[in-house]
Amino acid sequence: YDDRDGWIWVDGTMVPWRDAKVHVLTHAMHYASSVFEGERCYDGTIFKSRAHSQRLIASAAAIDIPLQYSVDQIEAAKTATLEKNGLTDAYVRPVVWRGSGPDMGVASARNPVHMAIAVWEWGAYYGDAKFKGAKLDISAWKRPSPETIPCHAKASGLYMICTMSKHAAEAKGCSDALMFDYRGYVAEATGANVFFVKDGKVHTPTPDCFLNGLTRQTVIGMLKDRGVEVIERHIMPDEMESFEQCWLTGTAAEVTPVGQIGDYNFEVGALTRTIAEDYEKLVRGKL
């Protein structure tokens, strides 16, 4: 995956894909001083591009990384990277990190801040689950409290437990894991937000200790436009027994139906299908 053709934008320069490397003493690798974005470009337009760039800057600020680029500069860099790679339908991955420098311990203020943007073709995140409904495990790891970590930043450090949860889920034949939060409420999947349907109403966890995804916000807007009531609240795991439908939202996941979480089963119902189809149209400017 590192030895392939293509171009990656690194600190303002287009670097051949296979040469886009970092030193082993990169601060981010030792201490997780890194934030990133995940975006999708559809028919040549990145969906919610500026909002992603704003979130990248906010994530960096949240973990004390001064990013020297403005939204406009990040926008221009993303466009240039897509063009250089000749891609109009692609996943876009900007990443910001503290590099190697005089600070070799926990502090990193004297180390340079780097930014890179890679783009690649990436199909459905959950493969054919998009049609039949994904099967989710329940993670042993809990989303941490806002007093533990800047939980609204898209920061690499927050993903350690996501990767561990996802590995455990895949080992059991599941596509992903649902994570509860530090209080025991339903939170989110390892890279996507979660929605439930009951009696024609939609219930989704209040994003008070996890990422309030841009897709989540978009889908809430779409549901309200359709006159569907959306209730953001704390959800106890045993409530899943009574929920009829479930789906995940995320830039990579888009709107993916869920068929099973642990022992709870859901139908891939009409509302789930409608919202998934609406989202597909919306991102291509056809809604």
Binding segment for ligand PMP (CB under 6 A), chosen from 60-68, 126-134, 191-199, 230-238, is 191-199
Q: Which two tokens stand for residue 79?
A: 């466009």
* Of 27 and 216, CB closest to ligand PMP: 216
Closest CA to 7 of 98, 87, 123: 87
In this structure, are residues 219 and 279 in contact, taking their beta carbons and an 8 Å threshold?
Answer: yes
The number of beta carbons lying within 10 Å of the beta carbon of residue 197 is 22
191 binds ligand PMP (CB under 6 A): yes
152 binds ligand PMP (CB under 6 A): no
Secondary structure of residue 183 in the 3-state scheme? coil
275 binds ligand PMP (CB under 6 A): no
CA–CA separation, 67 vs 116, rounded Å? Answer: 12
74 binds ligand PMP (CB under 6 A): no
DSSP state of 205: E
192 binds ligand PMP (CB under 6 A): yes
Question: Residues 211, 255, 275, 276: which binds ligand PMP (CB under 6 A)?
Answer: 211
The number of beta carbons lying within 10 Å of the beta carbon of residue 102 is 9
93 binds ligand PMP (CB under 6 A): no
Residue 48 annotated as catalytic: no
Closest CA to 36 of 27, 44, 28: 28
Residue nearest to ligand PMP (CB): 213
Question: Residues 216, 222, 254, 258: which binds ligand PMP (CB under 6 A)?
Answer: 216
Question: What is the dihedral sign for C-alpha 217, 219, 220, 225?
Answer: positive
Binding segment for ligand PMP (CB under 6 A), chosen from 66-74, 184-192, 196-204, 258-266, is 184-192
143 binds ligand PMP (CB under 6 A): no
Question: Residue 265 class from Cβ within 10 Å (0-12 exposed, 13-18 middle, 19+ buried)?
Answer: middle
Question: Residues 251, 256, 258, 276: which binds ligand PMP (CB under 6 A)?
Answer: 251
Catalytic pick from 154, 198, 201, 286? Answer: 154
Binding segment for ligand PMP (CB under 6 A), chosen from 62-70, 113-121, 132-140, 185-193, is 185-193
256 binds ligand PMP (CB under 6 A): no
* Of 9 and 91, CB closest to ligand PMP: 91
List Cα–Cα distances, 255 to 7, 88, 227, 250, in angstroms: 29, 21, 19, 7
* Of 69 and 210, CB closest to ligand PMP: 210
Buried b (16+ CB within 10 A) or exposed e, 8-36: bbbeeebeebeebeeeeebbbbebbbbbb
193 binds ligand PMP (CB under 6 A): yes
Q: Minimum distance from CB of 53 to ligand PMP (Å)?
A: 12
Residues that bind ligand PMP (CB under 6 A): 38, 154, 188, 191-193, 210-211, 213-216, 249-251
The residues carrying an active-site annotation are 154
